[in-house]
Amino acid sequence: MFHAACVAELRKFGVKHTCPLCRTPFPLGPERLHDEALRRYFVVDRMIARGEASWSALPIEAQQEIGAVVIGMQSAAEQGHAQAQYDLGIFFKNGHGVAQSDEEALKWLQKAADQGHANAQCNLGYFYQEARGVERSAAKAAHWYRKSAGQGNSGAQAKLGYLFEHGLGVKQSDVEALKWHRKAAEQGNTTSQCYLGGSFEEGCGVAQDYVEAARWYRLAAEQGEELAQLEIGSLFETGRGVPQNDVEAVRWYRKAAEQMNSAAQFMLGNCFREGRGVAQSDEDAGLWLQMAAVQGHAMAQCYLGRLIGEGRGPIQSDQEAVRWYKRAADQGCAEAQYYMGDMFNEGRGVAQSDKKAAEWYKKAADQGDMYAQFSLGLLLLNGHGVVRDVKRAAQLFEKAANQSHAEAQCNLGVLCANGSGVAQSDVQAAQWYKKAAEQGLMNAQFNLGLSFSRGRGVAQSDGEAAKWLKKAAEQGYAEAQYIVGVFMEESRGMVRSDTETVHWFKMAAEQGHARAQFKLGLMFYTACGVKHNVVEAARWWLKAAAQGNTQAQSYLQHVKESSTHKGLRDVLTSSAP
């Protein structure tokens, strides 16, 4: 039996293997004990890496081998070998070859850390941060991380950066957080590379710089960091810091999605849904959205509901669509809450209920969803499912209108023109009509045209009136088509053209517009823009007369009494009751 300290001293003088007095071999020194234990450990570790065993189910031979590893490692550790103390601490931390024990892990990590072992110091900081075997202490965690980080340990640098970022155990400082994360990132730490990417993207602690953000994200993404893959994909999709490229965006989204990142699965599903960067595929969209949805991603649940509700998903089922909308809505997803309102409003997948529709619209409206604000405004305006409240409807229309919701802008304009729920103001009405009209809303274009025609809220202008009325007419608004025909007939704000006049009257007439039908008949009767055709005139007048147009009735009576045209008599006779 040898005294460990004596053996250590003899070895300092070059006496390595045997006692100089009795020639008895010395026990293996800590270095050789550790090296031999490590060699045997790697034999077992390779078995596990090849899938031939697992730490929870080692074969007998492997159990014996790892038992010898632990004995050798412990012998080296007890002789003060810092690396052996660290390795033994990690064995106890992970329960590899020994019963898992945070207390034992702490004991050996502390010994190694006290000798300046950087990895042990980092792990000791982790134990204090996560309260593993000790009382949680962010200050002590910071203390040990700082010691390890000062030796260049990238993991500790990243963790110290995190503590400064959140003010845990240290005074909050974006500058210090950035400093330590940068040190770790420059050593290839993906967590810190992501942090730097986010800092440059958001301009947090540094000047906003999308090019730098993309550089750091890409470095982490190329190492397989899923969050970085998601973020670099987003930069490619939006063209921030890199040239806009949907194909590249999809490539990075797919890499993250295949690592089961639900946000990336959602983004990839959406790309397939819209055909951006990939061939459009409802099947693939449904697959990726469902993978994200089952992981609880609210927007994926909402979009999967839409896909199913539109008959584009794996099945067509309003009930299934409602189920996914509800899961997302219960997580607070405003868009899903809006769609729940729509389903109750339309009675799709649920029993129709204006009251429940209003409840869901309100949830979404309270979160600022402009579509829900508009829909709830309509229910309040008409008293459906709620007590009628025009003032509250106007307020909701205004909230949606300020978010550029065209229909809300138009409806608010009508309320301003009528003084319903708001102070009467033709000027405000015209302003709201114009905002909606410029977005292409047909009704707003028509209302704005009338405002210019009548000089209500704007300076009277036949030219402006004709311009906006024609835009509405081109979208198929029958009344606008009729008025454009009248404007052209009277040369109001546009050059007269009898042919064009006939065109617009005919467009409106074919939609059943009685006055346009009368006017079209008159054009045929007077040979204005078309050849004279009293029979065709009578056909259109008959349509108008059937709707109660007195002018058409009068002209029909006149031609009936004065004309001997056989074809006309046949038309008039066939239309008689």
Give the closest residue to 78 by CA, choosing from 37, 42, 131, 122. 37
Total of domains in the chain: 2
**Per-residue pLDDT tens digits for 292-306:** 999 999 999 999 999
More confident residue, 569 or 182: 182
Cα 53 to chain centroid distance, Å, stands at 42
The pLDDT value given to residue 6: 54
DSSP state letter for 21:
T
Handedness of CA 485, 486, 488, 492 (dihedral sign): negative
- 324 pLDDT band, cuts 50/70/90, is very high
- Say which residue, 408 or 65, is predicted with more confidence: 408
Q: Return the pLDDT at 574.
A: 65
**Domain stops at, among 115, 139, 160:** 115
Does the pLDDT value for residue 272 go beyond 50?
yes
**Average pLDDT of 446-454?**
98
Q: How confident is the model at residue 124 (pLDDT cuts 50, 70, 90)?
A: very high
pLDDT of residue 132: 93
In a domain, 577, yes or no: yes
Cα separation, 78 vs 520, in Å, equals 108
DSSP string, 113-175: HHTT-HHHHHHHHHHHHHTSSS---HHHHHHHHHHHHHTT-HHHHHHHHHHHHHTSSS---HH
Averaged pLDDT score across all residues of the chain: 92
What's the pLDDT at 36?
Answer: 86
Percent of the chain having pLDDT more than 90?
Answer: 80
- The answer to whether residue 529 is domain-embedded is yes
Residue 364 lies in a domain: no
Query: What is the rounded average pLDDT of the residues 345-364?
Result: 97
Most confidently predicted of 13-22, 40-49, 93-102, 271-280: 271-280
pLDDT exceeds cutoff 50 at 2: no
Q: Which two tokens stand for residue 110?
A: 């502390």
pLDDT of residue 315: 78
Q: Which residues contact 114 (CB under 8 A, 6 or more apart)?
A: none
How does pLDDT run across 195-214, given as a tens digit for each residue?
A: 999 999 999 889 999 999 99
Calpha distance 259→541 (Å, rounded)? 71
In a domain, 124, yes or no: no
Q: Residue 60's pLDDT is what?
A: 86
List beta partners, residue 18.
Answer: 25
CB-CB contact of 233 with 249 (8 Å): yes
The arithmetic mean of pLDDT across residues 440-456, rounded, is 98
**Helices (H), ranges, 294-369:** 298-309, 318-329, 334-346, 354-366
Section 162-189 average pLDDT: 95
Residue 268 counted as domain residue: no
Using the predicted structure, report yes or no on whether residue 5 has a pLDDT greater than 70: no
pLDDT of 26 above 50? no
In sequence order, the 6+-apart residues with CB closer than 8 A to the CB of 29 are 7, 11, 16, 79
Residue 512 falls within a domain, yes or no?
A: yes
Condensed to tens digits (0 to 9), the pLDDT of residues 516-554 reads: 999 999 999 999 999 999 999 999 999 999 999 999 999
Cα–Cα dist 90/83, whole Å: 11
Per-residue pLDDT at 194 exceeds 50: yes
Q: Check pLDDT > 60 for residue 17.
A: no
Does residue 346 lie within any of the structural domains?
no
Q: Tell me, what's the pLDDT at 1?
A: 44
Where a domain ends, among 115, 147, 162?
115
Percent of the chain predicted with pLDDT > 70: 93
Give me the phi and psi of 18, to 5 degrees please: -135, 155
Last residue within a domain, chosen from 64, 94, 115: 115
Residue whose pair of structure tokens reads 């993978």 in the numeric block: 291
pLDDT at 577: 44
Q: Evaluate if residue 562 carries a pLDDT over 90.
A: no
pLDDT at position 563: 66
Structural domain for 2, as ranges: 1-115
Residue 21 maps to a domain: yes
SS3 410: helix
- Residue 484: its pLDDT value, please? 97
Reply yes or no on whether the pLDDT at 566 is more than 80.
no
Region of poorest pLDDT, from 58-67, 275-284, 314-323, 348-357: 58-67
Instruction: Report the phi/psi class of residue 370: left, alpha or beta, with left for phi > 0 and alpha for psi in -120 to 50.
Output: alpha
Whose tokens are 């409206």? That residue is 365
